[in-house]
Amino acid sequence: MRAYRFRLSIPAEEYLAYYQGTASQVVVALSNGVNLQFPAGNLRPFVSHEGVYGRFVLRVDDNNKLQNLERVGD
């Protein structure tokens, strides 16, 4: 299983596009320059009135299927 660490700062106004279905994927740039893309719906447990903020770890299996997404800090 591989793990990708990244930081998100998505204000509530911007996340609204994901919530309304206008945008379906989140793309984050990792520190090594690689872009990571995953379904925006996976962020729903982490949305607050301010948006989505914090450090996260996304884990995928050997077929790159998302297994787990967790917030690991602010």
Q: With a cut of 50, which residues of the chain have pLDDT below it?
A: none
pTM score, two decimals? 0.87
Q: What is the pLDDT of residue 17?
A: 82
Burial (CB count <10 Å: 0-12, 13-18, 19+), residue 8: middle
Which CATH number goes with the domain that contains 64?
A: 2.40.50
Helix (H, G, I), strand (E, B) or coil at 1: coil
> Residue 35: which domain range?
2-73
Number of structural domains found in the chain: 1
